[in-house]
Amino acid sequence: MHISDGILEPQWCIFWYAISAIFIALGLRIINKRIKDDPSYLPRISLIGAVVFVISVWHIPVPVTGSSSHPVGTPLASIIIGPFATVVVSAIAIFFQTFVGHGGLTTIGANTFSMGIVGTFSGYIVYRMLKNISPLWFSAGMAGFVGSMLTYITAALELALSLNPGNVVYYWKLYAMGFIPTQLPLCVAEFAFTGYVIKHISETKPEVVAPAGARLDRFTKIALMLMILITSLLAIGAYLGHLRGSDMAGTDSIVGALAAPGAISNGIGVRLMARFGEPVGFALVGIIGGLVTGYYWDALKGRKSDD
pLDDT > 70: what percent of the chain?
Answer: 62
**For residue 65, with 0-12 CB atoms within 10 Å meaning exposed, 13-18 middle and 19 or more buried, which class applies?**
middle
**pLDDT for residue 297 is more than 90:** no
* CA 37 from centre of chain: 27
Rounded Cα gap, residues 96 and 90, in angstroms: 10
**pLDDT for residue 273 is more than 50:** yes
pLDDT > 90: what percent of the chain?
Answer: 21
| Between 218 and 88, the higher pLDDT residue | 88
Whether 96 contacts 284, CB under 8 Å: no
**pLDDT for residue 303 is more than 60:** no
Residue 186 has a pLDDT of: 82
**pLDDT for residue 105 is more than 60:** yes
In the chain, domain spans: 10-300
DSSP designation for 100 = G
Q: What CATH architecture applies to the domain 10-300?
A: Orthogonal Bundle (1.10)
**pLDDT for residue 298 is more than 60:** no
Residue 272 has a pLDDT of: 58
**pLDDT for residue 36 is more than 50:** yes
Residue 242 has a pLDDT of: 47
Residue pLDDT, tens place only, 40-90: 787 778 778 777 877 776 666 555 555 557 788 899 999 988 999 999 999
Whether 99 contacts 284, CB under 8 Å: yes
| Between 278 and 173, the higher pLDDT residue | 173
Residue 67 has a pLDDT of: 56
Q: What pTM was computed for the model?
A: 0.73
**pLDDT for residue 270 is more than 60:** no
Q: Give the pLDDT band of residue 167 (cuts 50, 70, 90).
A: confident
**pLDDT for residue 107 is more than 60:** yes
Q: Give the pLDDT band of residue 142 (cuts 50, 70, 90).
A: very high
Over residues 108-134, the mean pLDDT reads 91
